[in-house]
Structure 1
Amino acid sequence: MSNRLSPLLVTLGIILLMAAWLLWIGREPICTCGYVKLWHGQVVSSENSQHISDWYTPSHIIHGLLFYAALWLAAPRLSLGWRLAIATLVECIWEIVENSDAVIERYRAVTISLDYYGDSVLNTVFDVLAMILGFWLASKLPVWATVALIVLFEGATMWIIRDGLALNILMLLWPLDSVAQWQAGR
């Protein structure tokens, strides 16, 4: 029993350490608006990435789907629990980097996220939990369904909010004026 529990305890520990680090560097525990919402649907808003879920939650589910596939290929003999711990570590490192002052300023400079000042710790923890959901789904679903989910989530967020995981990565690494204008509705 303890062998099965170990990766889960490590996974939980990684999430707690990430949350503690974010609090230590001054990230807000919850939205500065003073309340917590299950869903916040307005992208261009100072409350975006401050509540439990938002339009970027699907991108974190996609992270989990992709991490499962990558670890299934790279470490097929590793138990599912330890692959989840590794995926959680990668996601938490990304969340710490994403909430660094340098990356926050980069988002504000080259994306549609002008009112973005970093995620709340609550939102960050739920982003990691969304990744874990995606990882779990990938472990249960056939490959075609996993691919369909990625296409559905990316297509829906691009259509509804003019953003998504692929566009987010593109605009962080190689911002294009034409994409920025399209995202702004021009």
Structure 2
Amino acid sequence: MLLFAAILFAMGRPPICPCGTVSLWHGTVQSNQNSQQISDWYSFSHVIHGFIFYGLSRWLMPRALLWTALALAIGIEGAWEILENSPVIIDRYREVTMAYGYSGDSILNSVSDAGFMILGFLAASRMPWRATFAIAIAFELFTLWAIRDNLTLNILMLVAPVEAIKDWQGG
């Protein structure tokens, strides 16, 4: 995690919110502090990343030690955070999603996102798969209701944008 934080720093990402404050939670999606603080609405998606990475690791590497699989998951999450904060993805978010004015994540938020992924991974390792699946669905429905966005829509809009969804998300 230190390596990907150092890479983000070298990419010019701000260590904390450029507003100068650090908050545990920021709940306003369309604001200059979204994706800048320790947690936000997208933290739920990162927990789901952990659920998915755990499930994939048990399916693709059933004999791997939990910590080996977790290290691989951290590497993948770190790579995503680096890619997500590259100009090509930042511009793509601005172009096709409801993330108007998105400027990327602070390093604090990116590292926290990885922490939420780790939390999801470890929780999934302790829960029955049905409980993990139910929590993931609950998180998706809750964030869909609360902010008109979730992991599923985020992926869809990044890969194959639907103008009607973008309009609906914009309210």
TM-score range, shorter chain: over 0.9
Query: How many angstroms apart in 2 are the aligned matches of 1:128 and 1:178?
Result: 31
**Paired residue for 2:4?**
18
Task: Select 2:31's aligned residue among 41, 45, 56.
Answer: 45
Task: Select 1:163's aligned residue among 149, 157, 160.
Answer: 149
Report the count of equivalent residues. 171
CA deviations 1:84-139 (Å, max 9, x no partner) are 00011011001100000110000001111112100000000000000000000000
**Paired residue for 1:140?**
126
**Paired residue for 2:41?**
55
Shift in Å, 1:151: 0.3
Moved beyond 3 Å, runs of 4+? none
TM-score normalised by structure 2 residue count: 0.99
Are residues 1:35 and 2:21 paired?
yes
Within 5 A, what are the aligned runs for 1:59-138? 59-138=45-124
Q: Name the aligned partner's letter for residue 90 of structure 1.
A: I
Shift in Å, 1:48: 0.3
Shift in Å, 1:73: 0.5
SS, match of residue 95 in structure 2: helix
Shift in Å, 1:79: 0.2
Shift in Å, 1:66: 0.4
For structure 1, the 5+ residue unaligned runs are: 1-14
TM-score normalised by structure 1 residue count: 0.91
Identity in percent? 53
CA deviations 1:143-179 (Å, max 9, x no partner) are 1110011100000000110000000000001111110
SS, match of residue 105 in structure 2: coil
Query: Which structure has the larger Rg over C-alpha atoms?
Result: 1
